[in-house]
Amino acid sequence: MLPLHQIDAFASGPFTGNPAAVCLLDGPRPEAWMQGVAMEMNLSETAFLLASAGKGGPYDLRWFTPTVEVDLCGHATLASAHFLWEEGLLGASEVACFDTRSGRLSCRRSDGLIRMDFPARPGEPCEAPVGLLAALGLGDGRALRNGMDLMVVLDDEAAVAALAPDMVALARVEARGVIVTAASTLAGVDFVSRFFAPAAGVDEDPVTGSAHCFSGPHWAGQLGRTTLVAKQLSRRGGRLELEVGDGRVEIAGRALTTVRGHWVGD
């Protein structure tokens, strides 16, 4: 039996943040099997951990939506680190290290938060692809693109909260996902966002750590500071603390295990 837990990442309590499944493997498994488990779990991401050098890692880490494997995922990385500490596979002061399709990622615990060291992925202004704004129900918006996602910047955070995209149309836009963001007027929050990835099998992701590798550098430049607080305006909601550095973004949040179990399907 393989440990398989459900963990809410970037959460303030149960029913908040972004739930991820974390499965600790006892050896290599076929991609088709991992994709099948992710489809069975039907969460935005299922993470698979495999110790590559004995207890303490580093761990090989892969992420699957219900339909595809992805190159980078923040909330399931945070959930994976939480799993290792909670299960006693890492000491309380040890750093969690992961080898992934986006290179070596690390997580550490500090001040009650899990702090992830991720690559910055800033974007460049671009023409909004045909159909993007219409799919979002917007008349205008400033578009940017990096190698993974599109981002649309709005002037009004209320417009971000009110979005009701046409997911079928949005899935035809060429990108892993679409971030829609605006500066915030909320106390203690610098910017807000939502993230849509219907082409990857996730209509709206509740809280998307990896999207802040793009939005964090953007808002650091716009606001003239490197320490930021972000809020994702999904129904579940989530808070992220960011430190934008030279080529890296530290993304911090809390995690909570809600379900403990085992995979017994085969």
**pLDDT tens track for 161-204:** 999 999 999 999 999 999 999 999 999 999 999 999 999 999 99
Q: Above 80 in pLDDT, residue 32? A: yes
What is the b/e burial string over 91-127, where b = at least 16 CB atoms within 10 angstroms of the residue's CB? eeeebbbbbbebeebbbbbeeebbbbbbebbbbeeee
**pLDDT tens track for 119-148:** 999 999 999 999 999 999 999 999 999 999
Does residue 217 have a cis bond before it (omega within 30 degrees)? no
Look at residue 54 in the predicted model and tell me its pLDDT: 60
Domain boundaries along the sequence of the chain: 2-115+252-263, 124-244
Fold of 2-115+252-263: Diaminopimelate Epimerase; Chain A, domain 1 (3.10.310)
Choose, from 40, 45, 69, 174, the residue flagged as catalytic: 45
45 included as an active-site residue = yes
Look at residue 52 in the predicted model and tell me its pLDDT: 84
Percent of the chain's residues with pLDDT above 90: 96
Number of alpha helices (DSSP H) and beta strands (DSSP E) in the chain: 6, 18
**pLDDT tens track for 42-59:** 999 999 999 986 656 699
Look at residue 56 in the predicted model and tell me its pLDDT: 60
Q: Above 70 in pLDDT, residue 101? A: yes
- Within this chain, domains 2-115+252-263 and 124-244 share the same CATH topology: yes
Look at residue 14 in the predicted model and tell me its pLDDT: 93
Mean pLDDT, range 53-71, rounded to an integer:
87
**pLDDT tens track for 79-96:** 999 999 999 999 989 999
When the pLDDT of each residue in the chain is averaged and rounded to a whole number, the result is: 96
Among 57-61, 67-71, 148-152, the range scoring the smallest mean pLDDT is 57-61
Per CATH, domain 124-244 is 3.20.20.70: no
What is the b/e burial string over 141-171, where b = at least 16 CB atoms within 10 angstroms of the residue's CB? bebbbbebbbbbbbeebeebeebebeeeebb
At residue 225, the 3 state secondary structure works out as coil
- For residue 266, what pLDDT band results from cuts at 50, 70 and 90? confident
Q: Above 80 in pLDDT, residue 211? A: yes
Mean pLDDT, range 199-222, rounded to an integer:
97
Q: Are 205 and 44 in contact (CB under 8 A)?
A: yes
Strands 227-232, 191-197: pairing is: parallel
